[in-house]
Amino acid sequence: MLKKILSLLCCIAVLGGTLFAGASPETYTEQKKAAWEYLQKHTDDLTLPYYAASVINDFSPTNGQILHLTNEIDSKDDASLAELGGAIVALGAVKQDPSNIDSVNLFSRLNQRNLNGVFPNETQGLFLSIAAAELFQDSFSYEKWNRDSLLETLLSFQNEDGGFPSELGGASDVYLTQYALLGLSFYSTPQANQAAEKAVAYLAESEFSPKTGMDTALLVQALSAAGVSNSDSRFLIGGKTPVSLLLSFSRDDGGFAQTPSAGESSVTATQEALLALYAAEHLQNPYDLAAIAPSYQPPDNKLNTLMFFGKFLLVLGIIYLSLMVVSRYGKKKAAAVSPAAAQSLSAGEDSPPASNDMAEK
């Protein structure tokens, strides 16, 4: 009875160990670490993705880098929607107040910019403005400039085929549709969910094949934000998943190149790739800093515990099975050599002493 119970526990251990030991999702820890180290060596041309990545990597840019960003925006009276929204997101990422940057209120400037309506090619600006509104919800209380009005404006751009154009009523554009997906993922309303489904379907039917590292990174970010698995067969590109294609742009220095033939890494492509790898790991919008910052933990802490427990059960089960096999094999071998000895062994008796005649021989 005891042996049956032990055998049953052994089977459970092997099955449970196999389950937990193989429960790990795709992780890109080494690639992200290498990309981050590459960016630390090339800080002269850092832009918004770098600041967003600083939250994910628990790193704070220097004051000089922050001033470089804000001064560039402050000095432009005609700053675009994307530049203003992006600056607010970047400042929020490093816990700076966008309402008082050298006595300039970027929220107010953004509100004034929007009063004239959304201009062509501003889908990216809408997405970044939505990210800013999500990060600073209390500061976006303007009559025409708030979370709901931004969604309404974004939805108004969507065409019947599910794509988003560069201007209202224009032909759908793959790149702008990806930016729109990043914006829609901030909402959980039925309208936003339906619009996202239509946008994903449009991308799947467009037979789009990204040619650069940045294009591929943007595709990974958009699909991940929409909850589309990297293994989705609709988005295989030349037999490769979007992430596999993105990793083909990685270089020995840890960065990512802009084109397949480029020997050198690109700072811009690396920033986008770093966020794309995070997005693919978590199926999350990497710009949703309000969601990431409070709850972010290194991606493998809890998972490592489960994997360790699973591997422990697996090893325990294998050891027990091995001992059972060795024990049974030993008994069968003993029975084949000397049935009487095997019977004595199974009865727990000591082997009889050798006879004097045998000893003499």
Would residue 1 count as lying in a domain?
Answer: no
pLDDT computed for residue 18 by the predictor: 44
Would residue 350 count as lying in a domain?
Answer: no
Q: Are residues 171 and 285 in the same domain?
A: yes
Q: Are residues 85 and 192 in the same domain?
A: yes
> For all residues of the chain together, what is the average pLDDT?
76
Q: Are residues 315 and 295 in the same domain?
A: no
Would residue 202 count as lying in a domain?
Answer: yes
Share of residues in the chain with pLDDT > 90 (%): 30
Task: Give the span between the Cα atoms of 315 and 307, in whole angstroms.
Answer: 12
Would residue 65 count as lying in a domain?
Answer: yes
Q: Are residues 278 and 307 in the same domain?
A: no
Q: Which of 107-111, 213-217, 314-318, 323-327 has the highest mean pLDDT?
A: 213-217
CATH code, domain carrying 265: 1.50.10.20
What is the per-residue pLDDT across 219-255, written as a single tens digit (0 to 9) for each? 999 999 999 999 999 999 989 999 999 999 999 999 9
Last residue of a domain, one of 260, 283, 299: 299
Would residue 358 count as lying in a domain?
Answer: no
pLDDT computed for residue 12 by the predictor: 54
What is the per-residue pLDDT across 93-127, written as a single tens digit (0 to 9) for each? 777 788 887 777 888 888 877 545 565 567 888 88
pLDDT computed for residue 224 by the predictor: 96
Predicted confidence (pLDDT) at residue 89 exceeds the cutoff of 60: yes
What is the per-residue pLDDT across 134-154, written as a single tens digit (0 to 9) for each? 888 888 877 777 888 889 989
Query: With contact defined as beta carbons under 8 Å apart, do 29 and 301 qualify?
Result: no
Q: Are residues 42 and 165 in the same domain?
A: yes
Q: Are residues 243 and 320 in the same domain?
A: no
Would residue 355 count as lying in a domain?
Answer: no
Would residue 5 count as lying in a domain?
Answer: no
Q: Which of 7-21, 133-147, 211-225, 316-330 bottoms out in mean pLDDT, i.e. has the lowest? A: 7-21
Q: Are residues 16 and 145 in the same domain?
A: no
The residue segments making up the domain with residue 17 are: 11-27+300-328
Domain count, the chain: 2
What is the per-residue pLDDT across 32-80, written as a single tens digit (0 to 9) for each? 889 888 888 887 667 777 777 766 665 556 666 666 666 666 555 677 7
Predicted confidence (pLDDT) at residue 301 exceeds the cutoff of 80: no
Q: Are residues 41 and 17 in the same domain?
A: no
- How far separated are the first and last CA of the chain, in Å rounded? 46
Q: Are residues 305 and 256 in the same domain?
A: no
Using the CB atoms, write b or e for 326-356: b if 16+ within 10 Å: eeeeeeeebeeeeeeebeebeeeeeeeeeee
Q: Are residues 108 and 46 in the same domain?
A: yes
Phi, psi of 22 (to 5 degrees): -100, 15
Q: Single out the residue of 162, 166, 290, 177 nearest to residue 223, CA to CA.
A: 177
Q: Are residues 258 and 312 in the same domain?
A: no
Q: Are residues 143 and 183 in the same domain?
A: yes
**Better-predicted residue by pLDDT, 100 or 337:** 100
Structure tokens at 280: 């693919």
Would residue 147 count as lying in a domain?
Answer: yes
